Amino acid sequence: MSNQLLQGKSALVTGGSRGIGRAIALAFAAQGAQVAIADYGDDAVAAEAVALLKEAGSARAFSLKGDVSDPAFAKEAAARMKEDFGGCDILVNNAGITDDGLMLRMKPESFDRVVAINLNGAFYMTKELSALMVKQRSGRIINMSSVSGVKGNAGQANYSASKAGLIGLTKSAAKELGSRGITVNAIAPGFINTSMTALLTEEQMARSVSAITLGRAGEPEDIAELALFLASDKASYITGQVIAVDGGLVL
């Protein structure tokens, strides 16, 4: 009998071709899940991610290219999961963007686009994929919020609002879906080494890290470990929670 945490499970990770999303997808594959990723990015990057997933153990891994802010894409994703995997056991709403700027100078389209992808996209995916889970009477939904959604952040009115909205969505969905055996939780990462943080100067990096209690930036794998736990049967009595993985940035 396999002791893999997600043996026989199927998962969809949005924004899964790189960074935190890729780390989560790989962690799931290594623990026995069949994994699909949904992304709007570069085809070559997505193909590389799928190849890595297959190496990790997800023999039927595939990628879907589309914009999560389009409700039609969520319907397409649900249909593909049902067709290829027979359903969906785990959904990770990880796709997200930033477009930082001071609120007084922020263009309305910048605010709208960030909220559309980070929050609306999670709603559309949750709506369509949870319908499959309701039929199964089981499922795990994990939303990627942020410490910016918990405490706010200057220059990120759009991003903070979208991530705070995800917390509200998480709690409401947890209450609606709990009776069907579906848990819904959120992870709030802090300062994590990704392609986004790689754009910072050494001075900006040092200033950011100085505010972290553990004195270092996190890695995508730090987030993936929690996502793996929340997706497993070990977390069957945890729902509606927001768990920070931030090295003590917000205390």
Q: How distant, in Å, are the alpha carbons of 96, 114, 155, 158, 160 from that of 106?
A: 18, 12, 9, 9, 13
What is the spatial distance between Cα 5 and Cα 39, in angstroms, rounded to a whole number? 25
Q: Are 231 and 7 in contact (CB under 8 A)?
A: no
Q: How distant, in Å, are the alpha carbons of 41, 66, 230 from that of 69?
A: 14, 9, 25
What is the spatial distance between Cα 144 and Cα 131, in angstroms, rounded to a whole number? 20
With H, G, I as helix, E, B as strand and everything else as coil, classify residue 8. Answer: coil
> Which helix (H) or strand (E) is 184 found in, with range?
strand 182-189
What is the spatial distance between Cα 217 and Cα 41, in angstroms, rounded to a whole number? 25
Q: Which of 219, 166, 158, 213 is nearest to 188 (CA)?
A: 166
39, with CB counted inside 10 A (0-12, 13-18, 19+), is buried
What is the spatial distance between Cα 62 and Cα 58, in angstroms, rounded to a whole number? 9
40 is catalytic: no
Residue in 40, 124, 159, 237 annotated catalytic: 159
Catalytic residues: 159
